[in-house]
Amino acid sequence: MDLHDKVALITGGKRIGLVVAGELAARGADVALSYARSKTEAEKAAGLVRAADRRAATFQTDLSRPDAAAVLVQSVVDRFGRLDVLINMASVYVQRPFTDLTAADWDAVVDIDLRAAFLCAHAAVPHMRAQGGGRIINFSDWIAKSGRPRYVGYLLYYVAKAGVVALTEALALELAADNILVNAIAPGPILAPPGTNDEEARAVEEATPLGRWGGEVEIVKGVRALLDSDFITGETIRIDGGRHLK
């Protein structure tokens, strides 16, 4: 896809999202970013976009609300006139013992990590269809893509991210006739989570065949490849330095 004068929406505009936004702008796209609480980070990402002489906008959005996705997408179209690329990155990542989990905990994770991706896609597709096609990139996780849980305490996250893989495949089939390609990226050790100490970071490196954290640029490369291809759809691509092999 030629991104010049196209419009992309990224849900979740900090850390990796910030770098992806900069890459899209460098390739000629205008970029909208939604955020829940990370306004400073979203504005920083918007600044990168504007520095590339492209238009940017940020939208505070609570994607746990069922109506929020449709409002967000319509706001983007009202601001920019179109929507060509949707990147569903918004996510909740919380560790909690199974015995402590409640129905509210389920909703808090699944509504953001899975349902919001579906609802954003559902709202975006009519606009993409009207202009002859588009791209949707969801974000799963290397563990979910590997097909088995590995860490205790992340039941809800695992279930939601496994659902993203299924959502990606089903959407790709549903939307193929509309030239809307749907894929997912399943990151592994890209950036250390906040609060990771040196010992924990080294342990991840030792467990990764390539022996290092990947860095945001590796996700950018994956996004770029999926946007460039006109024949990849329904795939979930692990970007994990071989972590799933151990």
Catalytic residues: 157
Question: DSSP string spanning 26-94?
Answer: HTT-EEEEEESS-HHHHHHHHHHHHHTT--EEEEE--TTSTTHHHHHHHHHHHHHS---EEEE------
Tokens at 58, concatenated: 């940020």
What letter represents residue 145's amino acid? K
Name the nearest CA neighbour of 50 among 29, 73, 78. Answer: 29
170: Cβ–Cβ under 8 A, 6 or more apart, which residues?
Answer: none
Instruction: Decide: 203 and 170 in contact? Cβ < 8 Å.
Output: no
* Cα distances (angstroms) measured from residue 154 to each of 82, 95, 201, 212, 239: 37, 5, 19, 23, 20
Instruction: Decide: 138 and 180 in contact? Cβ < 8 Å.
Output: no
Tokens at 49, concatenated: 């976009």
What gap in Å lies between CA 9 and CA 32, rounded to an integer? 5
